[in-house]
């Protein structure tokens, strides 16, 4: 029986398994500082072009998540912006 990783966060929107590569990537992208393509390559074994395709096809189109990228110290970092669902317009303006 395989050991379960308690630190893996299941993705409720996608219905993916908690131990899948997709779940690992989404966990990395949801971290406060985000992550680099190189970090995802290391975590999944994917090629960099596959990571970028995952961002476009799965993260943005299929899951409809808001993916943000910014350049920090000559390195591009990607992260999923926190959901603003349930926050009223007045709360956003404050």
Q: Which helix (H) or strand (E) holds 41?
A: helix 37-44
pLDDT per position as a tens digit, 25-79: 999 999 999 999 999 999 999 999 999 999 999 999 999 999 999 999 999 999 9
Q: In the chain, where does DSSP find H-type helix?
A: 21-30, 37-44, 48-54, 89-93
**Which residue shows structure tokens 């379960």?**
4
Domain residue ranges in the chain:
21-83
Q: Rounded to 5 degrees, what angle do the CA atoms 12, 65, 6 make?
A: 35
CATH topology of domain 21-83: Arc Repressor Mutant, subunit A (1.10.10)
- Regarding predicted confidence, which is higher, 8 or 81? 81
Higher local confidence (pLDDT), 20 or 85: 20
pLDDT for the residue numbered 15: 60
To the question of pTM greater than 0.75 for the whole model, the response is no
């Amino acid at each position: 029986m395989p050991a379960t990783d308690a630190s893996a966060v299941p993705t409720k929107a996608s219905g993916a398994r908690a131990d899948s590569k997709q779940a690992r990537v989404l966990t990395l992208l949801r971290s406060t500082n985000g992550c680099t393509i190189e970090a995802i390559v290391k975590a999944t074994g994917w090629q960099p072009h596959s990571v970028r395709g995952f961002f476009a096809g799965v993260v943005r189109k299929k899951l409809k998540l808001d993916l943000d990228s910014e350049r920090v110290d000559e390195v591009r970092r990607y992260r999923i912006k926190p959901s603003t669902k349930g926050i009223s317009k007045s709360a956003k303006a404050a």
